């Protein structure tokens, strides 16, 4: 068992490593870039209207204190190591950005006196205006805000969020960074938070068949948006979203989309995948216009499209991985087993979904099983549940029952093969 004293000692050890690493890498890259002749700048014209507020140097400097303190609020070695990996990766990615895309700050600060002037003078001893994009301050601001949020009670959350928001704004009002640095820093912080998630580990397995086909299709779409970044850099956002979906279908699995049992999508994944999720939402709305919203199947179990109105059923089993829990299902018993669309789930996923469906039905009498369109994932899980309830049913019988209740459903040969394996597992 790891004690608080052990974590404190390890925190001190990590701080002794991280602090010199941070200042040496950041400082050396800054000095190197200062001597380059190819350093430009990216400034929006309206940035001239951002005021210079000297006292915001106080929240700006406070991030250094919070950086050190963060190591000592961890409650497990796993969390502490995860945080250390995030902090190291933040410095490495930021420094790589400073070297590959050198930029400099272009505004000239007025003369400052008093405490604020002294703090600015200390800052200028090691922070020349060349380490710009992505802003390391913004990367750390996101990561540390997320970290402290996990440890503070609800009554302190507004203060915590307000202070980190003030730190984020301070990089502009102290005239340390341009807006482009903030945007790239935010994106980098999100990516690191997604790459080293709070819960779960990456267990990659190379996809085959339909999964690999879909991965290649998403890769092609990603390549197209990557090419479009030559026109406008804003296409980096959908490019990054499509990269994550490509990895999800090709090797990383549904965990890459980071939706949990309560239907919440991790904040980093929520932001990074927003362009893709918007496209999926539009597609879902178009397809569901002609589909029946709910189809009763058997014993209080119904198949549904993604619910947008309050369901009459007492419980909900959500099988989508692309959408968060919709507010219409709040107040109902709820469980989510995220599954990728258009591909077979792992047998362990199918078992978990069937187990939860049976539990919800037993405890709440009626259950709404839904995916996005109510045609594939929900139909597959309900068919597997029918076989689970009645081992005498063949996969063809279960499929026929689902098709009779909802003729629009789609059962592929791969689905039928999975149901046969499921049938064998139930018998054994």
Catalytic residue numbers, as ranges: 371
Q: How many Å apart are CA 336 and CA 399, to the nearest integer?
A: 23
Contacts of 193 (CB under 8 A, 6+ apart): 86, 142, 143, 146, 266, 267, 268
Classify 208 as helix, strand or coil.
Answer: coil
**Contact (Cβ atoms closer than 8 angstroms) between residue 333 and residue 360:** yes
Determine the length of the chain.
428
Q: How many Å apart are CA 250 and CA 367, to the nearest integer?
A: 32
CB 294: neighbour CB atoms within 10 A?
Answer: 17
Planar angle of CA 286, 273, 246, nearest 5 degrees: 90
Q: Do the strands 301-304 and 294-298 form a parallel or antiparallel pair, or are they unpaired?
A: antiparallel
Q: How far apart are the first and last CA of the chain?
A: 39
**Contact (Cβ atoms closer than 8 angstroms) between residue 283 and residue 342:** no
Give the residues across from 295 on adjacent strands.
303
Instruction: Scan for tokens 């020349």, then name that residue.
Output: 128
Q: How many Å apart are CA 216 and CA 206, to the nearest integer?
A: 12
Determine if residue 301 is left, alpha or beta; phi over 0 gives left, psi from -120 to 50 gives alpha, anything else beta.
Answer: beta
**Contact (Cβ atoms closer than 8 angstroms) between residue 95 and residue 135:** no
Q: How many Å apart are CA 425 and CA 169, to the nearest integer?
A: 57
For 70, counting Cβ atoms within 10 Å of its Cβ (0-12 exposed, 13-18 middle, 19+ buried), the class is buried
Please give the torsion angle defined by the CA atoms of residues 127, 132, 136 and 141, in that order, rounded to the nearest 10 degrees: 100
């Amino acid at each position: 068992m790891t004690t608080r004293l052990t974590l404190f000692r390890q925190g001190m050890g990590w701080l002794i490593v991280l602090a010199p690493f941070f200042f040496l890498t950041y400082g050396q890259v800054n000095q190197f870039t200062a001597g380059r002749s190819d350093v430009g700048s990216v400034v929006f014209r309206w940035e001239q209207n951002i005021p210079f507020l000297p006292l915001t140097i106080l929240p700006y400097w406070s991030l250094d204190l919070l950086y050190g303190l963060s190591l000592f609020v961890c409650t497990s070695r796993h969390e502490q190591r995860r945080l250390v990996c995030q902090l190291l990766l933040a410095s490495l990615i930021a420094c790589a950005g400073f070297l590959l895309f050198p930029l400099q700050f272009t505004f000239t600060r007025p003369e400052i006196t008093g405490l604020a002037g002294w703090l600015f003078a200390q800052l200028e001893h090691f922070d020349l205006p060349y380490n710009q994009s992505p802003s390391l301050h913004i990367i750390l601001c996101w990561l540390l805000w997320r970290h402290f949020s996990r440890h503070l009670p609800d009554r302190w959350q507004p203060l915590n969020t307000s202070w980190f928001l003030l730190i984020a704004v301070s990089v502009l009002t102290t005239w340390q960074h341009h807006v482009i640095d903030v945007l790239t820093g935010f994106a980098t912080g999100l990516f690191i938070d997604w790459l080293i998630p709070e819960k779960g580990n990456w267990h990659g397995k190379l996809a085959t068949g339909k999964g690999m086909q879909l991965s290649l299709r998403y890769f092609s779409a990603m390549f197209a948006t990557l090419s479009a970044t030559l026109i406008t850099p804003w296409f980096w956002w959908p490019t990054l979203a499509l990269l994550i979906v490509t990895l999800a279908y090709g090797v990383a699995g549904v965990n890459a989309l980071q939706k949990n049992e309560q239907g919440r999508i991790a904040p980093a994944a929520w932001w990074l995948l927003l362009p893709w999720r918007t496209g999926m939402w539009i597609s879902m709305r178009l397809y569901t216009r002609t589909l029946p919203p709910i189809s009763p199947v058997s014993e209080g179990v119904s198949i549904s499209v993604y619910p947008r109105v309050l369901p009459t059923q007492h419980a909900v089993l959500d099988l989508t991985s692309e959408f968060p829990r919709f507010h219409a299902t709040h107040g109902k018993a709820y469980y989510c087993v995220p599954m990728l669309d258009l591909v077979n789930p792992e047998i362990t996923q199918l078992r978990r979904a069937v187990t939860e469906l049976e539990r919800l039905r037993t405890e709440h009498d009626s259950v709404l099983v839904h995916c996005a369109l109510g045609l594939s994932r929900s139909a597959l899980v309900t068919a597997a549940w029918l076989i689970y309830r009645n081992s005498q049913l063949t996969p063809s019988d279960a499929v026929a029952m689902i098709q009779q209740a909802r003729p629009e459903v789609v059962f592929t040969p791969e689905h039928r093969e999975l149901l046969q394996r499921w049938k064998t597992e139930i018998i054994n």
